[in-house]
Amino acid sequence: MTTAQRFDGKVVFITGAARGQGRAEAVRFAEEGANIIALDACAEFTSTSYPGATEADLAETVRLVEATGRKIVAAKADVRDFDAVSKVLSDGIAQFGRLDVVIANAGICSGKLSWEVTLEQWRETVDVNLTGVFHTAKAAIPYLIEQGEGGAMVFTSSVSGLKGTPFTAHYAATKHGITGLAKAMANELGEHKIRVNTVHPAGVETGMNMGPDMQPLFERFAHTLGPIYMNSLPYAIAQPEDIAGVVAWVCSDEAQYLTGVQVPVDFGNLNR
């Protein structure tokens, strides 16, 4: 169930929008009245064991947004390429005339013992998850400041951005990194009424299937894991729409006094 048109007349920029949380966020904001600027790399990554999103996936996001009656500018672009990100955003603003919300959602994940992470895995994960978020924010912030009407930015972090989840050291480092980036930006941008927060999901059914990487490690190290992957609530995995609803609330006027905040959507995992 969506709230009445909280984003009517607004424009939302979303990265990693071809599927999963990015697609769900695009649809949720459109359902609440926003026009969407969306991008996705639509590519395979060398360090991940699951298939990458495709251009057909991005086209489906476009179809779903347009089915709500709202408009979308969508393009294939890699967040590692600042010029490409900037072009998609500027093209969208040229069409829609403004920018209000930024969701830096694009990310990848792989599982391995920290000292066995390859140099390629490390570089690719850092470049997509951390540098990609920086590129997204760097491209968007000047528009928001010049517009002079405030705004909201949300970076998709993870429970791994607040705790040391085993077998994901490279991923956890990036998710901790964007948490720190958001906190610093929140302090810098507060005078412009631009809010910057992070959202920290636990497991979400997005197509990023980590089973092949993680299951052998879970079995091998079951005796050391303790409660670190346990949830307080009796759920194991969320749907992308569940996270999208929280992100929409964080970006709405209902949360207008929240900035520099880490919002867990984690079944109580971080409380363990």
| Concatenated DSSP letters of 15-84 | ES-SSHHHHHHHHHHHHTT-EEEEEE-----TT-SSPPP-HHHHHHHHHHHHHTT--EEEEE--TT-HHH
Q: Residue 178: which region, alpha, beta or left (left: phi > 0; alpha: psi -120 to 50)?
A: alpha
- pLDDT tens-digit profile of 212-224? 877 787 778 777 7
Q: Where are the alpha helices (DSSP H) in 49-131?
A: 55-67, 82-96, 119-126
No. of helices (H) and no. of strands (E), the chain: 9, 7
Q: Tell the residue number behind the tokens 């013992």, with chain if given.
A: 113
- pLDDT tens-digit profile of 179-207? 999 999 999 999 999 999 999 999 899 87
- pLDDT tens-digit profile of 72-100? 999 999 999 999 999 999 999 999 999 99
Catalytic (active-site) positions: 171
Residues in the chain, overall count: 272
Helix axes 20-31, 240-251, angle to 10 degrees: 50
- pLDDT tens-digit profile of 104-152? 999 999 999 999 999 999 999 999 999 999 999 999 999 999 999 999 9
**pTM metric for this prediction:** 0.93
